[in-house]
Amino acid sequence: MVDIGEAAPDFTVPKAGGDAYNDVEEFTFGDVVGDGPTVLAFYPAAFTSGCTAEMCALRDSMGLFDDLDAQVYGVSVDLPFSQNVWIREENLNFPMLSDWDHEVIRKYDVVLDDMYGMIEVAERSVFVVDTDGVVTYRWVRKGDNPDFDELVTETRDAVEDAL
C-alpha cells in the first residue's frame, strides 16, 4: 500500500464532471498535483448507501477544502457515465474519477476483492497528496463505516497540514 511519505502513483483515467451523462474527459493526476493539495477519496460503488453518505459528507464540506485551495476527487471502478448520473442525483460538487480497469486501486493497493462475495471494487480509503506529489495522509476503512463527518474533518486537517 502507498504509505505516508511516499510518492503518489500517477495515473490517467476518465473524469466525470457531472454536467451531463457524457461529461467525460481524460484526467492525468500528475497534471494537477502541483495545483494544490489533493484529496483522493476512494469508494466502492456509486448509488450505495455508505458511498452516498461519504460523498455527500464531502459535498457538504467542500467550502472547507475550497478555503485551502484543495482539490477533491472521488475514485471508484464505476463507469464515468454512471458516475455522472450519480453526481447529478446527489448534487455532488466535485468530479469523480473512473478507474474502470482497476489500475488505480491496484497502484494504491486499495482493492476490496469481495464486495458481495463476487466483485472487485475500491476499498473505502482517503489519501491526501501535497503539491510535491507526496502522500501526507492515508486512511483505510477498518470494520464498519466511520462517522463520515469526523472523517471529513480529519481529512480537512490533513490537507491543512499538507500546506
pLDDT category of residue 145 using cuts at 50, 70 and 90: confident
Residue 154 lies in a domain: yes
Whether 35 has a pLDDT exceeding 60, the answer reads yes
Residue 74 inside a domain? The answer is: yes
Question: Is 125 in contact with 141 (CB distance < 8 Å)?
Answer: yes
Q: Is the pLDDT of residue 142 over 90?
A: no
User: Residues 16-28: what's their mean pLDDT?
Assistant: 96
Q: Mean pLDDT, to the nearest integer, of 93-105?
A: 97
Q: Does residue 7 belong to any structural domain of this protein?
A: no
Is 56 known to be catalytic? no
Residue 153 lies in a domain: yes
Helix or strand holding residue 34 (H, E): none
Residue 113 is part of a domain; what is its CATH number? 3.40.30.10
Looking at residue 89, its amino acid is E
Catalytic-role residue among 41, 51, 85, 105? 51
pLDDT of 8 = 98
- Identify the residue whose cell numbers are 469508494: 43
Q: What's the structural domain count of the chain?
A: 1
Residue 81 predicted with pLDDT over 60: yes
Question: Quick one: average pLDDT of 77-87?
Answer: 97
Q: Tell me, yes or no, whether 2 lies in a domain.
A: no
- Domain membership of residue 67 (yes or no) is yes
Give residue 43's pLDDT: 96
| pLDDT at 20 exceeding the cut of 90 | yes
pTM over 0.85: yes
List, in sequence order, the alpha helices (H) in 19-138.
29-32, 49-60, 62-66, 80-90, 103-107
Express each pLDDT in 112-123 by its tens digit: 887 555 678 999
Give domain status of residue 4, yes or no.
Answer: no
* Per-residue pLDDT, 1: 80
- pLDDT computed for residue 118 by the predictor: 63
* Residue span of the structural domain in which 113 resides: 12-162
Radius of gyration of the chain (CA): 14
**Residue-level pLDDT at 50:** 92
